[in-house]
Every structure is written in C-alpha cells, then in structure tokens.
Amino acid sequence: MSNLNLNFFDDSLIQPVAEPETPTAPANGADILIEQLYKFYDEVKVLEDLDLNIQAGEFVAIVGRSGCGKSTLLRLIAQLEKPSYGEIKFQSARNFREGITSADIRVMFQDPRLLPWKNVLQNVQLGLTKTQHHLAETLLTKVGLKDKAMQWPAQLSGGQRQRAALARALSHTPRILLLDEPLGALDALTRLEMQKLIEQLWKEQGFTAILVTHDVSEAVQLADRIILLDQGHIAHNFQVNLPRPRKKSIAFAQLEQHVLDAVLAT
C-alpha cells in the first residue's frame, strides 16, 4: 500500500456511485443483485441492510478492516451460507431467461485447497466429465503449469499451487468467480504475476469477478469498482477510471491514497 501523503486529488479518477452505468454484458458473466441483506450469527450482526448491484462481467473489489463483513458477504454470494434476511438474485448474461445455480459460481480461497493425493492435472479435472478433461489441460497451459501437470501439490511453490487452484476454478467456466484473499500469502513478485494472470483470464472469459482483499493497491490494480465495507454497511462505492493495463503512476498513487484514507477513516 502506498504511504504517499498527497495534498491534491483528481476527482475524475474515482467517484462515489449509487448505480453503475449499464455496460454491454459479456457472453459469460452474470448480474448480482443484493437487496436489504442482513446476516446474524446469534446476537452478532455482521451485515445490515446491504444493497449492492454488480453487473455482468464487472470486476469488483471489496475492502475494509478485519471483521467488517467482507468474507461473510462472499460466502453468502457463493451460497455457502444463507442470509438472515434479504435476497441475493442472479441473472445470466448469456440468456436472460436462464437462471444461475451454485454450479455457475466458483470460489478461490487464500488456501489453494488442492487434494494432496491427486496430481496437479487430476486436481484441475475435479468435477469434470471425461469429455471435458481437455479443458483442464488447456487451463494448465494458460496458467503456466503445463510442465507441472503430473507433479503432486507438495512439489509446487505457493504461487504454483495458487495457479493450479485458479485453473481448477476456471475449468468449470464459471459465470461468477469469487476471490477471497487468494494472494495474501504470496511474496510480492509472485503476487504481481498472479494479479496479471487473473486479469488476463477475466478478460478472456468474461466472468463476473469479486475480490476480497486487505491490499488497497491490489484493489486499484484489478477492479472496475471498489466497495468499502464498514461494520456491515457500504461506507463508500468508488468507480475506478484508470485505463488497462494499469501501471504505477501519479494517477494510480492518487487513487490508492484516496481509497486508503477512506479505509483508515472507518
């Protein structure tokens, strides 16, 4: 994260938005509409009256302090948990009469969760039919692990294991990819390489991506929009107006500092 203390800021770079403009929906994405969402764990209120509209093919980053509800929101979207109140609706961009199921949603966690008794290729093939196994091989090539296909997860570096986890998530051609701090345990160089890889595959496949991260710089690098959560509420909803591919620049630093200041103010 940047520690720059900038006394000026170009408002054209980042703006609070209530509803994003409607883009041309990509072939594979899905809209996500969250209405009056609440989540309680016994007497503890984690999310409260949350409304959020994410458009098909959009890349959204969710930031905020620990305990603000980021990962809980991701689990609810993934249908790993149920809301206490409210609704989460999905709409396919492929066919507006076609619904979205849990099979269309994939999650990538900080822990790659590869099965140690299966080799890399077998891990990526999990859940695929035999006629789909070629998809796993194609994706291993895309993530740079073609030559590691027959190795065991224990033989891979941390970055390579995350590449395998990404290939496994994308082998099912998801319409929604949820990223829960997937790069948090990686070294700085590997993290940058993974950011570029995720962005590349997002552009190619057109899925809707939601990234939970503590790293404001990572959010600015990858996202079309940055959501700041504070105590279960949306404190800020920022549109990122930086061209891709993004490079560290004065504009990037201004934007990063602006979002970081907002996080620190919560």
Q: Return the percentage of the chain with pLDDT > 90, whole number.
A: 77
pLDDT digits (tens, 9 = 90+) for 191-232: 999 999 999 999 999 999 999 999 999 999 999 999 999 999
Q: What distance in Å separates the CA atoms of residue 175 and residue 103, rounded to the nearest whole number? A: 9
Q: How would residue 98 be classed by pLDDT, with cut points 50, 70 and 90?
A: low
pLDDT of residue 94: 56
> Where are the chain's structural domains?
10-18+26-72+80-100+186-208+223-266, 112-174
Q: Calculate the alpha carbon distances from 16 to 11, 197, 215, 238 in Å.
A: 10, 28, 20, 5
DSSP 32-100: EEEEEEEEEETTEEEEEEEEEEE-TT-EEEEE-STTSSHHHHHHHHTTSS--SEEEEEEEESS-TT---
Sign (positive or negative) of CA dihedral 141, 143, 145, 150:
negative
Q: Is 118 in a helix, a strand, or coil? A: coil
- The token duo for 95 is 């066919």
Q: Is 120 in a helix, a strand, or coil? A: helix
Q: Look over the chain and give the mean of its residue pLDDT values, rounded to a whole number.
A: 88
10-18+26-72+80-100+186-208+223-266, superfamily in CATH?
P-loop containing nucleotide triphosphate hydrolases (3.40.50.300)
Q: Is 128 in a helix, a strand, or coil? A: coil
Q: How would residue 25 be classed by pLDDT, with cut points 50, 70 and 90?
A: very low
Mean pLDDT lowest for which of 10-24, 133-147, 189-203?
10-24
Count Cβ atoms within 10 A of the Cβ of residue 95 and give its class: 0-12 exposed, 13-18 middle, 19 or more buried: exposed
Q: Determine the residue type at 137.
A: E
Q: Return the percentage of the chain with pLDDT > 70, whole number.
A: 88
Query: Half-sphere exposure (CA, 13 Å, Cβ side) for 162?
Result: 24
